[in-house]
Each structure stands twice: as C-alpha cells, then as structure tokens.
C-alpha cells in the first residue's frame, strides 16, 4: 500500500508576497525612493556617473564576448526586424505624440504636452532595451543592432523632427551623445566580440555574471536619473495632480506602443525572439540621449519642463518592462 502523502509545506506571508511581487520591480521602486530621499550630489554624483559609464561599458563587453559572431551577423541581416524598430520609433511613436497635443490645457499643461511630443521623437534606449530583451530570452543581437542604429540616426533625426514639429532652434548637437554610443556601447561590444573565442564559452556557462550585471545596470540607471532630477529641481514647479495625469498619459503611451509592437511583430511573421526584441526596443525612449539633447535644443527654462515627461516615462518603462520581460521568460 502506498504510504500517506506528504502534506504540502505551509506558505508563509513572505512566500505569498514573493509569488506576486516581481523582485526586480521591487528593487527599482526601492532605488527610486532612495533617489528622492537621498539624491547624490556634488562629488558623489560625479563618481556615480563614472560608475554608470563603466557599468554600461562592461555590460556590452560581456554581451559581445558571450555572443557568437554568427548571431550578430544574423541580427544585422534581419531587415524586417530593423525596419520595424525604426518605424515604431520614428513614425508610430511621433504620431501618438502628436495625438497627445489634442489634450486640453485643463487636462495637461502645454509645456508638459511639449515634453511628451519631444519624448516621442527620441531614439530608443539602448542598455535597458537590450537588457530586457536578454531577460525575456529574445533576440539580443537584433536588439543591440536595432537600438544602436536607432541612436545613431537619432542624433540627426531627433533635432530635425524637433525643429519641424516644435519649431525649436538648434545650436548644434552635443557630441557627448555620439561619444557615449561609440565608447560605451559599440567599442566594448566590438572588443567583446574579438575576445569571444577565448571568453565566450566560459561566459555562456556562467550566465549569472551577465544577469547580475544586467540588473545592477538597470538599478544604477534608475537611481542616477531620479537623483539628477531631484537635485536639479526639475520637479519643484509641478503639482501632485499634474504629475499624476502625466504619469497616466505616459503609461497609456507605453501600453499603446507595447501592444502595437507585439501585434506588428506578429503581423510581420517575426519569430518570437525577434518579436520580443521589437517589443522592447520599439516601445522605449532614451533618457540618456533625451536630457543632453534637451539642453541643446531648448532654452534652460523650457528644457526643465521638457525633461520631466522624459524622466517620468523612463521610470514607468523600466518598471513595466521588468514585469513584461520576466513574464515572457517564464511563459515563453
């Protein structure tokens, strides 16, 4: 006769909480609150900026060293994926940004609407798009290629579209954005590819190193972005009600782009890994590119208001896509 069945272990309150709270989201919320209550300033902020730069460079070196070169070449050859990413970033998102301009002043202040249109014209973020694509088990090579091409083109396209749609007068482009793409992303990735034959196998069998770097980079970017906004006083003139409405509009924009890119990837017949890359790259906007460009394209007073929607959207996209990426990985 079979023995008595072993009773299931009792679930503690902590086990229940862990069942419905995404750990990565919890950590992001924690560092955002830390940035509001204890922002880095002065020398500490300078040190964190260097640390963030180094973390991003290390992350892309590890991606390059871990990824077989044939996968990178396959990502470059995926013209449907790359074309879809650029269409989402520079056509679909700007159309949504123009639709937001129809909101009345009583709902959203004109300067915040301007900021949302500026947000819609920015290139895709690179590091978080690639990180979340990796977490979701998507096409990392395609994501790196698409997000990088988006940023390279954005250095020219974003100012031109801002001048066309917002009437901003540009005083030249900040070379820091181009330098960041070249020396924090492309160069480390290329060096990693050159080291791939020696390090690739070891890194692929020790995936925890890249996962830790992924998450640490996300948390560092989240903390430094909200910390910089807090120190600069970018949020001082905004009421709680206005911030709540702005957050809702940003969430609606993100939801619309997530739905559009996922649906569009299916209509294009993309494989699931490529659909994930399109979802993650086509729905995001770059804070790292957006804030320096705002300082060049707008007067200081306007730049502070324009920066706020970029910051708010950035935080929402990090928290939301952390959940989406984990669920795609779990149920894929």
For the stretch 266-319, pLDDT in tens is 999 999 999 999 999 999 998 877 877 776 777 666 776 788 888 889 889 988
CA–CA distance, 41 with 256 (Å, rounded to integer):
36
Distances (CA, A) of 268 to 5, 84, 129, 137: 50, 9, 20, 20
Q: Render 88-119 in DSSP notation, one character per residue.
A: IIIIIHHHHHHHHTTS-TTTS-HHHHHHHHHH
Task: Judge whether residue 132 has pLDDT over 60.
Answer: yes
Task: Judge whether residue 170 has pLDDT over 50.
Answer: no
**Can you list the pairs that 323-331 forms with residues at least 24 positions away whose Cβ atoms lie under 8 Å?**
323/22, 323/25, 324/132, 324/136, 324/258, 324/279, 325/132, 325/133, 325/135, 325/136, 325/280, 326/22, 326/24, 326/135, 326/136, 328/136, 328/137, 328/138, 328/276, 329/135, 329/136, 329/137
Q: Give yes or no for a contact between 133 and 212, defined as CB atoms under 8 angstroms apart.
A: no
How many CB atoms sit inside 10 A of residue 267's CB?
A: 8
Lowest-confidence pick of 8-17, 178-187, 280-289, 299-308: 8-17
Q: Which fold has domain 25-32+41-331?
A: Na+/H+ antiporter like fold (1.20.1530)
Residue ranges of domains in the chain = 25-32+41-331
For the stretch 30-68, pLDDT in tens is 887 898 889 888 888 889 888 988 888 888 788 788 877
**So what's the pLDDT on residue 171?**
42
How many CB atoms sit inside 10 A of residue 169's CB?
A: 10
Nearest Cα to Cα of residue 128 among 327, 328, 329, 325 = 325
Taking the whole predicted model, whether its pTM rises above 0.85 is answered as no
Please enumerate in sequence order all residues whose Cβ is within 8 A of that of 280, keeping only pairs 6 or more positions apart, or say none. Answer: 129, 130, 132, 133, 136, 138, 143, 321, 325
Residue 190, token pair as written in the block: 């290329």
Confidence of residue 147 (pLDDT cuts 50, 70, 90): confident
CA–CA distance, 158 with 151 (Å, rounded to integer):
9
Q: Give yes or no for a contact between 238 and 305, defined as CB atoms under 8 angstroms apart.
A: no
**So what's the pLDDT on residue 276?**
96
Confidence of residue 168 (pLDDT cuts 50, 70, 90): very low
């Amino acid at each position: 006769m079979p023995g008595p069945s072993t009773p299931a272990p009792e679930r503690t309150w902590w086990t229940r909480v862990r069942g419905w709270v995404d750990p990565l989201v919890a950590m992001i919320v924690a560092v955002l609150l830390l940035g509001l209550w204890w922002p880095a300033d002065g020398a500490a902020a300078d040190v964190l900026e260097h640390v963030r730069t180094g973390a991003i460079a290390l992350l892309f070196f590890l991606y390059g060293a871990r990824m077989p070169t044939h996968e990178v070449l396959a990502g470059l050859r995926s013209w449907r994926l790359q074309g879809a990413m650029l269409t989402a970033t520079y056509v679909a998102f700007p159309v949504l940004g123009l639709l937001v301009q129809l909101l009345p002043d009583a709902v959203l202040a004109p300067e915040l609407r301007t900021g949302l249109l500026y947000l819609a014209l920015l290139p895709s973020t690179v590091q978080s798009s690639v990180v979340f694509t990796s977490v979701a088990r998507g096409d990392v090579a395609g994501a790196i290629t698409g997000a990088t091409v988006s940023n390279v083109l954005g250095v020219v396209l974003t100012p031109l579209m801002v001048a066309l749609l917002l009437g901003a007068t540009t005083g030249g482009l900040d070379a820091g954005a181009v330098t960041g793409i070249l020396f924090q992303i492309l160069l480390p990735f290329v060096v990693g590819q050159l080291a791939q034959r020696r390090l690739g196998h070891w890194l692929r069998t020790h995936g925890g190193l890249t996962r830790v770097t992924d998450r640490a980079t996300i948390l560092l970017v989240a903390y430094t972005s909200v910390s910089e906004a807090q120190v600069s006083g970018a949020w001082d003139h905004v009421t709680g009600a206005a911030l709540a409405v702005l957050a809702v509009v940003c969430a609606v924009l993100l939801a619309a782009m997530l739905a559009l890119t996922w649906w569009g990837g299916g209509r294009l017949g993309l494989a699931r890994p490529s659909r994930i890359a399109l979802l993650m790259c086509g729905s995001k906007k770059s804070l790292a590119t957006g804030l320096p460009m705002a300082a060049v394209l707008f007067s200081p007073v306007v730049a502070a208001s324009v920066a706020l929607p970029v910051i708010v959207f950035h935080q929402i996209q990090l928290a939301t896509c952390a959940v989406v990426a984990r669920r795609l990985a779990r149920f894929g």
